[in-house]
Structure 1
Amino acid sequence: MTIVKKIKENLFVVIVVLAYIIMFIAKPEMGIESVKSSGYYIKEMLMIMPVIFVLTALLDMWVPKEKIMQYLGKDAKAKGVFLSFVVGSISAGPVYAAFPMCIMLHKKGASIRNIVIILSSWAVIKVPMLINEVKFLGPKFMLIRWVLTVIAIIIFSWITAKIIKDEDLPGEVLTKTGLHINRDACMGCSLCVKNYPELFEMENKKALVKSYEALDMDKLEKVIKACPVKSISYNEGMNMQYPFLPDSADCEK
């Protein structure tokens, strides 16, 4: 049963491994090329993602929530749309590097529409890409594609904001009191366990909260700030006899 459970928990990885095995059996050359390509992207991620997590944490600490809401929130309107295009366009690196930053921005008040614009701009109209596009395809092609892409991003970001609500995204600030880990957003980095092992532990590659009767607020604050994807939140106001007992969703075993 344990093996079956592990397979279910890591179903995607199992499917990928099986696909590679089948590929190596059917077409060994293609399998070798696939492994090389995968190795390249894994190496790229290992080089880029730590830097992104550090920058995201610094932005989270240095930029007040009020500023994010003012310039990227729902009330920012045209100003927010313009700034989102700028942020996405001047960014460097693959688009998956934008996901941790967008989680942080959303948690601090950035609107769904502006998050979509940042991600889309990062993916298809960032400046380094446009420079290379001019070099290979010419300025006319680049300019027409840029204009049409910007129009499409504006339209689709508006549609997305109508369909997707704030509460649909993981990492949302919770209104319930106490200590909570959004396990959907948790990436299993184990920083919380390393910094506060008395309170946190890992289960199935996700962090969870241990039962606890007292809390070191200084350590907890450091852990919350250190979390790369901001999946840990704390709100005061629980039963004062056991104010920091996690709810069943956090420590289900």
Structure 2
Amino acid sequence: MVTYFPSNMAVGEQALKQQFTFSLLPSKVFAFTQDRQTTEFFMKWSMLGRISAQAFTFDQLFHPYRKHDFVSDFFRDPNVISNLKVIDPLELWKPFERDVASVNVEIIPCTKVSMDIFDPLYNSGILHPNGHIVKCLHEHYTDFDELKKMLLIEDSENYEIISLENRVEFLFRLFKHICLGGELCQYEDVIGPYIETTRLIYKDLVSVRKDPDTKEITVVSTVLKVTACDQSGLCYPSRTREEQNFVYLIVDPLKRHVHVLYHSFGVGLFKT
């Protein structure tokens, strides 16, 4: 669903709603961006310098039904506009600094608190017993394998070993993004790096809590997949539509923090 920002005639009506305001959390450090092994994987997968995470705080109670207000206010907030990092057409990092005309917001299911979702990969013919990914012939790609078939080809025999319900989960989407990588991705022969990197990023971005009585752990974050348009069309996360150009806002309603996971598809960079 697309939300358009109000015209001048509608400003009075919009003003009746409390707007969200945001502030950058410059001291927030995401562990996966500092981990040396993860950095080496990002370099290998052509994602180094093209994937980033930032944190902002906000001032109002957040409820998922207000997702469009939240995202619209996010892209109008001067602290966001001046601090949100993007890669420009010249492959340079710079502040967002654009006038957004409309936003598209999709709530992404996020309920997983373990990596059990990936267990079917180990007994389906996608992996050898030692964790190596089974190779297969492909008319266009010499390095195609059973994992990519499962991720990309809906009529492949292994597509539904991960249920459709689980395929829409943020954890699985994150795994798919990691596996597909950037423009010059050097793919892994074993599954381990993909699983471990997904786990680190997910743990870094998503908030959970434990029920003091039942001891059950549940996710408290709401995950929003977003795009934004200016008067010329799509402007965020990129001017071009590509599955590996993505942005997720991961909202913690208790801490009133929002984490921004951003990736711009292309050849790996070495500066952010």
Give 1 or 2: higher helix fraction: 1
The structure showing larger relative contact order (alpha-carbon pairs under 8 Å, at least 6 residues apart) is 2
Quick check: which has more Rg, 1 or 2? 1
Normalised by the length of structure 2, the TM-score is 0.28
Normalised by the length of structure 1, the TM-score is 0.30
